[in-house]
Amino acid sequence: MGLKLENIVDRLEAGGGLQRDELAALLFDDDLEGITYLKRRARHVTDRIYGTDIYIRGLIEFTSYCKNNCLYCGIRCANKKAQRYRLTKEQIMECCKQGYALGFRTFVLQGGEDAYFDEKTVCGIVHDIKAAFPDCAITLSIGEKSRAQYQAYFDAGADRYLLRHETANETHYGKLHPKEMRLENRKRCLVDLKEIGYQVGAGFMVGSPFQTVETIYEDLQFLKELKPHMVGIGPFIPHKDTPFAGEHAGTLEMTLRLLSIIRLQNPRVLLPATTALGTIHPMGRELGIAAGANVVMPNLSPATMREKYRLYDNKLCTGDEAAQGLSGLAKRMRDIGYQVVVDRGDYRRE
């Protein structure tokens, strides 16, 4: 029968939804011209809204302790081999100071769900960063909390929150997480965060175990309804000390196609070319940008700690991946026609 990819892409760009068989065609078809068209249109939409600017975020992985036991994640609590560390507030402030000097105007505080960082402690850190760097945005990525806690962080000065939904399919969610974790609660968190006024990021891993066209279809539906300001997607990469050690990694190509599809479906979304994408391919970052991504998140954590925040095997944390290597990253972006900018890089409303 032959679905013509160009037609599917045009309709997606015009705001029409995707049918399941059309999604499958976009994900698996080897019609190179059609796929090139998909990526070009996605990049074109990005250029129209954000130009050729690339926004940078300084990622500070401030704790590798986690009470959760997500089956895919290297810092799951059952992984006794994981090296655990916490940064002090002073160390976090030092990361921000270095990052500010390098040109970062967004700091992303990411970590496991670590009870040591209770509401008061997190609010204190957020408050102090905001006081020292009032022109910067603060993004938190510390998992599922109560609405009251999210409100408290927001009142302390947090601007954005990243919480990937991981998969919008209940059964799939259950295969990736221990039974105490519920998709329903993760969705509740995302809705609370949005209502409070955060710029919110959702997202999922590409090629995670048990993912199917159907689950991806549901992910896209979910993103269409939620309308997050950011969507983080990157390939699943197995970690040797997790139950998914023997699973296949997600592919570069599938991740690129999904970046483009998400860009066409949610045109204004902030879309990072993630560390995981850079990890599975030396040009992953550049290819992600060409497919419609417009954000990169170099690592600002202290060099001695980086190795320990190991969500998956071979995770990049040096060279152009490190914030200190920003000039290298900036050059790589210039080489493909884009410029890293000193800017908070907020979501652009219509």
**38 versus 323: smaller Cβ distance to ligand SAH:** 323
**How far apart are CB 275 and ligand SAH at their closest, in Å?**
9
Nearer CB in complex with ligand SAH: 43/239: 239
Q: Which residues contact 38 (CB under 8 A, 6 or more apart)?
A: 5, 9, 26, 257, 260, 261, 264
φ, ψ dihedrals at 70, nearest 5°: -60, 135
Binding site for ligand SAH (CB under 6 A): 72-73, 110, 112-113, 141-143, 163-164, 166, 205, 234, 236-237, 239, 276, 311-312
Which residue's CB is nearer to ligand SAH, number 34 or number 232?
232
Tell me how far, at minimum, the Cβ of 59 lies from ligand SAH, in Å.
10
The amino acid that residue 246 corresponds to is: G
Looking at the Cβ atoms of 25 and 168, the one nearer to ligand SAH is 168
Residue 136 or 189 having the CB closest to ligand SAH: 189
The nearest distance, CB 6 to ligand SAH, in angstroms, is: 32
Give me the helix-helix angle, 32-50 and 5-13, nearest 10°.
Answer: 20
DSSP string across 252-290 = HHHHHHHHHHHHHHSTT-B-B--HHHHHH-TTHHHHHHH
CB of 253 to ligand SAH, least distance (A): 16
CA distances from 290 to 11, 45, 50, 141 (A): 21, 11, 13, 26
| 63 contacts 109 by C-beta, under 8 angstroms | no
Phi, psi of 341 (to 5 degrees): -115, 150
Q: Which is nearer to ligand SAH, 79 or 294 (CB)?
A: 79
Number of H helices, E strands in the chain: 14, 9
Least Å distance, CB 206 to ligand SAH, is 9
- Is the CB of residue 306 less than 8 Å from the CB of residue 281? no
Is 76 exposed, middle or buried (CB count within 10 Å of its CB: 0-12, 13-18, 19+)? buried
CB of 164 to ligand SAH, least distance (A): 4
CB of 163 to ligand SAH, least distance (A): 5
Q: Please identify, using beta-carbon distances, which residue of 141 and 260 lies nearer to ligand SAH.
A: 141
- Taking every pair of C-alpha atoms in the chain, what is the biggest distance, in angstroms? 62
Q: How far is the CB of 16 from ligand SAH (least distance, A)?
A: 29
56 vs 190, which CB is nearer to ligand SAH? 190
Contacts of 236 (CB under 8 A, 6+ apart): 72, 205, 206, 207, 208, 209, 211, 244, 247, 249, 250, 276, 312
Q: And the tokens for 266?
A: 């949610």
